[in-house]
Chains A and B, each alone.
Chain A
Amino acid sequence: MIHQYKNNGYNIVLDVNSGAIHVVDDVTYDMIAEYEKLQKDTVIENAAAKYPKIPRDEIREAYDEITSLKEDGALFTPDEYEGRVIDYTKRPTVIKAMCLNVAHACNLSCKYCFADEGLYFGKKAELMSLSVGKKALDFLIASSGNRRNLEVDFFGGEPTLNFDVVKELVAYGRSREEESGKKFRFTFTTNGLLLNDEIMEFANKEMDNVVLSIDGRKEIHDMMRPKHDGGPTYDTIVPKYQKFAKMREEAGKQYYVRGTYTRNNLDFAKDILHMADLGFHEISIEPVVAPPEEDYALKTEDIPVLEEQYDILAKEMVARYKTKDDFTFFHFMIDLEGGPCVYKRLSGCGSGTEYVSVIPNGDIFPCHQFVGKPDFKIGNVFTGIDREDIVTEFKGCNVYTREKCRSCFAKFYCSGGCSANAYNFTGNVRGVYDVGCALEKKRVECAIMIKAAQAAKDAQEAQES
C-alpha cells in the first residue's frame, strides 16, 4: 500500500508497510500512480505524452528508480503484519503506565471538561489518600512483569489540589525503584492556578514532563476556562507558565503548553502561534471532543477549515525552522528514524492493557477518559483486575480490527485512534470517530511535509557552506 499526496510544493510518497517516505519529481509521482496498474511501456508512454519536454531516456531512468525502490523493499511493500494479528490479540500484556487521578476536584469550570469539572460525575469532590496512592504504585510494580520503565501521570481534576500526596507518592515510588528493579517516569498536568515556586522546583527535580493547560489567545482561553465564579484565568497563569517553561528549558526538562480548540476558534493556528509568541517552544492543541448538541462541538462541515489551519501552521513551522522562533507542535512530531516498532504502532496508547487509570477510591479504569463510566471499571488496586473480559476487549483494539483503519495510509502513525472517542461516538471501543480520524490524517500529511521541507533546507544550507 502506498499513499501519494502533494503539499506545499512537495510530491510525497509514503510506502505504508515499510515506513519509507520519498519526495519525488512530477514525472516520477505520476508514474508511481500507474506503476502497479499498467505495463511498463504504457506507463512510460503516458508520462512522455504528459511531459513532452522531458527526454525519453530520463523518463525511463525515473521508471527504473521506481523499480529499484520496489526491489529494495521501500515501495509497494506487502503487508507482513496482518496475518499475525490473531496471535497479537491473544498476547500476554503487563501494565506499565498509570494515570493517577489524585484529585476528583477542580478549581476551574472549563466548559468542555470531559471530567465534569473534575468530579467525573461523582456527587462530591474527592482527594486520593496517601494509602490508596501507595497501593496503586505497588499494584503497578506488581503488574509490570519484566518491564523496567514505568510511567505515572498525576492527573485529576486538578492535581495541585492534592500536591502533598503527589510529593509523598513520588518519594515512595523512588524508594521502591532499587529493590523492584524499576525506573519511574513521573509527569503531571495542571491548570496553573495554584502553581508556585515550591511546586515548580519539585517538578523540575522529579517530573520528566509537565503539561500546562492553556487554550491560546486571552479571549479564547478565558471564554472556555473560567473560574467557578466565571472570572478569567489567563492573566494569572501565563506569567507562571512562562517562568516554569524557562526553568525547565534551562534544566533540559520537557514541558508542554497544551490547549483545546473548539468551534469558537476554528482559526486555532492563531492560538498556537500566540503561544509560540509568548515564548513557549513545546506546544500542543487538541480538537475538542464533545456531544454534537454542544454549541462549541466540532462538526463534519468544519473539517476543510480545520485542515487549512493545519496547513497554515505547518508552513509557518517550516518558515521558523532553525530560527529563534522555532517551536515543536505535538501532533506534527514524527520520528522517521527512531520511531517505535510495529507492535507498538498497532495498538497505540495501550489503554486497558498496558495503561490504566486509578481514581481516589482505588478503582481501576482502562484510561482517564473512561473514568466515571461504571461499566468500564475493571478492578481495584486492593483486589486486582476482576474484569478480564473488558481487558480482552481492549487487547483486540488495533488497526486491523478497525475496518476503516485496515486500508488507511496513516494506520501506523495514528494506531487506530482513541478508544474512548470511538466509544463515545459509535458505542464501540473498536469504532472510529470520523472527525478525529480526518484531522489525524491531515496532521500526518503535514508532519511528513515538514520533514521534507526541513531536509530541503538542511541540504541547501550544506550546499551553501
Chain B
Amino acid sequence: MKHVQTLNTKRLGCGECQT
C-alpha cells in the first residue's frame, strides 16, 4: 500500500502466559 503502513501482521485461552 502506498498511503498506509501496517505495523503488525497478527490480529487479536490456555492460561499459561505470565501474570
Contacts and interface: CB of A to CB of B under 8 A. Distances in A.
Interface in A341-370: 341-345, 349-350, 354-355
A457 B12 CA distance: 26
Contacts of A74: 6, 11
Nearest to B10: A337
A147 B5 contact: no
Contacts of A341: 12-13
A213 interface: no
Given A96-B19, A97-B19, A22 B6 contact: yes
Interface string B1-19: 1111111111111011111
A65 B1 CA distance: 7
Contacts of B18: 149, 151, 185
A451 B15 contact: no
B16 A451 contact: no
Given A61-B2, A65-B1, A65-B2, A94 B7 contact: no
Contacts of B7: 21-23, 336, 448, 451-452, 455
B1 to A, nearest CB: 5
A412 B8 CA distance: 15
A338 B12 CA distance: 9
Most buried by A among B8, B9, B10: B8
Given A338-B10, A341-B12, A343-B13, A22 B19 contact: no
A151 B18 CA distance: 8
Contacts of B1: 65, 68
A58 to B, nearest CB: 8
A18 B10 CA distance: 9
A20 interface: yes
Contacts of B11: 18-20, 73-74
Q: Is the interface of B mostly helix, strand, loop or mixed?
A: loop
Interface string A73-90: 110000000000000000
B16 A25 contact: no
A62 B15 contact: no
A190 interface: no
A66 B3 CA distance: 9
A147 B15 contact: yes
A27 interface: yes
Given A151-B19, A344-B17, A412 B12 contact: yes
22 contacts: A18-B11, A18-B12, A19-B11, A21-B6, A22-B6, A23-B4, A24-B3, A28-B3, A65-B1, A66-B4, A149-B16, A151-B19, A338-B10, A341-B13, A342-B13, A345-B12, A350-B19, A354-B15, A451-B7, A452-B7, A455-B5, A455-B7
Interface of B: 1-13, 15-19
In order of increasing CB-CB distance, the 3 nearest A-B pairs are A343-B13, A336-B8, A97-B19
Given A27-B3, A147-B16, 15 more contacts: A19-B11, A23-B5, A24-B3, A24-B4, A25-B3, A62-B2, A65-B2, A68-B1, A74-B6, A151-B18, A336-B7, A337-B10, A344-B17, A448-B7, A455-B5
